[in-house]
Amino acid sequence: MLITEILAQNARMYGTETALVERAPAVGGRKEITWAQFDQQANRVANWLMKKGVKKGDKVVHLMMNRIEWLPAYFGILRTGALAVPLNFRFDAPALKRCSQIAEAKVFIFAEEFIERVNSIKDELKSVESFVFLGPEQMRPAYAQSYDALLSSAEISEPGIGLEGADDAGLYFTSGTTGAPKAILLTHGNLESSCYVENNHHQQTHEDNFLCIPPLYHTGAKMHWFGNFLVGAKAVILKGVEPRWILEAVSEEKITIVWLLVPWAIDILFAIQNRDVDLEDYQLSQWRLMHIGAQPVPPSLVKEWKKVFPHHKYDTNYGLTECTGPGCVHLGLENIHKVGAIGVPGFGYEIMVVDTQNGPLADGQIGELAIKGPGVMKEYFKNPEETGQILKDGWLLTGDMARRDEDGFIWLVDRKKDVIITGGENIYPVEIEDFLQAHPDIQDVAVIGLSSMRLGEIAAAVVQVKPGRTLTEEDLDRFCQELPRYKRPRKIIFGPVPRNPTGKIEKPKLRKTYG
């Protein structure tokens, strides 16, 4: 059953029950909608878009911070047969422009946090016929129509567009090691499969309640929620990551499942150890599952977590946007003894560790992790060359180096690509290198990932200063203020940048020296 149909079924079966809650603890706000309201809002979005000429195969940009309107808007886009294009809210204006142009977006929906960025690029988005603004009316740009007004005026009837699993559903933008954005084309069948994979792994029932903290534009958070969604179970969208806010949400909303990133789990443990929070102040007995994904998980963290929360089930999730998010490999609730491994094939998936010719390797040998299964993307949109490099006879080459042990568990060894994952976010070294190369006192620069217990990795810049020039960390900190905060190097190292005879930076040598 496609996810658009699952929503309609939930509205029929559980219409008056709460579907989504939004908590904004920084301002003391709380909102909720029922399954019937969720379904009706999605229909209104779909009918309004269709009235504006949106049809099957068109693309609609979706740019919002996490909020209760996020999912109804997303489902409304899907119900038209158009492709949803959810963009990273951290993208700067040039990245938003590139992604919208690649997608050839027909409609651009955005919230108030993005007014300045959209203002600066709107005239260059020639394919966009309508801008839709979600936010206070007094802030609405003159060129944009009101999201609230369209909701109040549009029909609530189902739009009746026939959809099949093979139909295109979404473009999810990621970047390769060059930093150039690539659009991952996912089908309705891909999205549907995530519901069943997640529910099979974590056994959600209608009584569960999922706490959603990570950004919804990312496949991870949304596809983990799909396990609850499949059975009409509630979810809470939490706007904020402070340990106290997380524990309050779990306690007050009776949360049963929380998906965390490593930094948030560490922060919760530190807050408990430092007595910044007292577990006796919260009702946590119903919290049954804590699972982690998006970055390597230190076994010591899980061991410490189990000391504090001995009744919790635990799972490690490995996934890629190219595999429709999490679940193609997972540790499994029953395999806590294998913490450190990313796990075994997910529900419906196959796994191989392959050599450079894509031939299978024996247990214990290191090669590239390859995956086949129901979530594997259709293609990189408008990029047949990149698609051909990563998809081989139905197998997806992940770019991650791994080995399989004698029990069939997969252990990651290193990334084939140089992408740095810090706090669950991808950082592309070449973007930072290109930025720093513009400094007049820098001769050469290399950006590498260094291990961090809290963030998984941090970006470190190895800077080679021009002879006769001087440069300090403070100088570079000031220079890097133009970068988005998450892209700024967290460590500056002054030293030579080794390159091989072909001119490529020898990053393994740098990692060995400074790692």
Domain residue ranges in the chain: 3-240, 347-415, 420-514
Under DSSP, is residue 182 helix (H, G, I), strand (E, B) or coil? strand
Confidence class of residue 325 from pLDDT cuts 50, 70 and 90? confident
Cα-based angle 65, 69, 75 (whole degrees, multiple of 5)? 110
Residue 11 above 80 pLDDT?
yes
Using CA atoms in the order 164, 74, 68, 483, what is the torsion angle rounded to 10 degrees?
A: 140
Q: Which residue has the higher pLDDT, 219 or 32?
A: 32
Using CA atoms in the order 361, 331, 455, 177, what is the torsion angle rounded to 10 degrees?
A: 40
- The DSSP H or E segment spanning 353 is strand 350-354
Residue 241 has a pLDDT of 92
Residue 221 has a pLDDT of 85
User: What is the C-alpha separation between 260 and 262, in angstroms, rounded?
Assistant: 6
Residue 276 above 60 pLDDT?
yes
Residue 371 in tokens: 């995956």
For residues 214-235, give the mean pLDDT. Answer: 94
Distance of CA 98 to the CA centre of its chain: 19
For residues 404-412, give the mean pLDDT. Answer: 94
Residue 179 in tokens: 């930093």
User: What is the C-alpha separation between 426 and 218, in angstroms, rounded?
Assistant: 11
Please give the mean pLDDT across all residues of the chain: 92
Strand partners, 185: 171, 379
User: CATH classification of 3-240, choosing from 3.40.50.12780, 1.10.10.10, 3.40.50.300, 3.60.15.10?
Assistant: 3.40.50.12780
Strand partners, 76: none
Confidence class of residue 501 from pLDDT cuts 50, 70 and 90? very low
Q: What is the pLDDT of residues 168-195, one digit of tens each?
A: 999 999 854 345 678 999 999 999 999 9
Q: What is the pLDDT of residues 249-263, one digit of tens each?
A: 999 999 999 999 887
Nearest Cα to Cα of residue 331 among 301, 363, 359, 297? 297
Confidence class of residue 502 from pLDDT cuts 50, 70 and 90? very low
Q: Are 488 and 461 a contacting pair, CB within 8 Å?
A: no
> Positive or negative CA dihedral for 273, 275, 281, 282?
negative
Q: Which residue has the higher pLDDT, 196 or 484?
A: 196
Q: Which residue has the higher pLDDT, 300 or 514?
A: 514
Q: Which CATH class is domain 420-514?
A: alpha beta
Nearest Cα to Cα of residue 416 among 352, 467, 355, 489? 355
Q: Are 75 and 47 a contacting pair, CB within 8 Å?
A: no
Residue 415 has a pLDDT of 65
- Mutual angle of helices 299-308 and 262-273, in 10-degree steps: 50
Q: What is the pLDDT of residues 468-493, one digit of tens each?
A: 889 999 999 999 998 988 889 999 99
Q: Which residue has the higher pLDDT, 218 or 167?
A: 167
Alpha carbons within 13 angstroms on the beta-carbon side of residue 475 total: 13
Residue 293 has a pLDDT of 83
User: What is the C-alpha separation between 207 and 494, in angstroms, rounded?
Assistant: 55
Q: Do domains 3-240 and 347-415 have the same CATH topology?
A: no
Q: Which CATH class is domain 347-415?
A: mainly beta
Q: DSSP character for 82?
A: P
Strand partners, 499: 505
Q: Which of 162-171, 287-296, 334-343 has the highest mean pLDDT?
A: 162-171
Confidence class of residue 326 from pLDDT cuts 50, 70 and 90? confident
Strand partners, 184: 172, 380
For residues 283-290, give the mean pLDDT. Answer: 98
Residue 294 has a pLDDT of 73
Residue 91 in tokens: 């993208």
User: What is the C-alpha separation between 83 and 170, in angstroms, rounded?
Assistant: 4
In the chain, % helix, strand, coil (3-state, to 5) comes to: 35, 30, 35
Residue 428 above 80 pLDDT?
no
Distance of CA 110 to the CA centre of its chain: 18
Q: What is the pLDDT of residues 349-378, one digit of tens each?
A: 999 999 999 999 999 998 899 999 999 999
User: What is the C-alpha separation between 146 and 467, in angstroms, rounded?
Assistant: 57
Q: What is the pTM (predicted TM-score) of this model?
A: 0.86
Residue 168 has a pLDDT of 98
String of b and e for 37-52 (b: at least 16 CB within 10 Å)?
bbbbbbbbbbbbbbeb
Using CA atoms in the order 420, 422, 425, 428, what is the torsion angle rounded to 10 degrees?
A: -30
Residue 178 has a pLDDT of 42
User: What is the C-alpha separation between 15 and 13, in angstroms, rounded?
Assistant: 6
Residue 343 above 80 pLDDT?
yes
User: What is the C-alpha separation between 219 and 317, in angstroms, rounded?
Assistant: 12
**Span of 89-93, 104-108, 117-121, 122-126 with lowest mean pLDDT:** 89-93
Residue 143 in tokens: 């060129």
Confidence class of residue 117 from pLDDT cuts 50, 70 and 90? very high
Cα–Cα distance list, 469 to 259, 432, 444 (Å): 48, 21, 13
Residue 427 has a pLDDT of 81
Nearest Cα to Cα of residue 144 among 55, 52, 69? 52
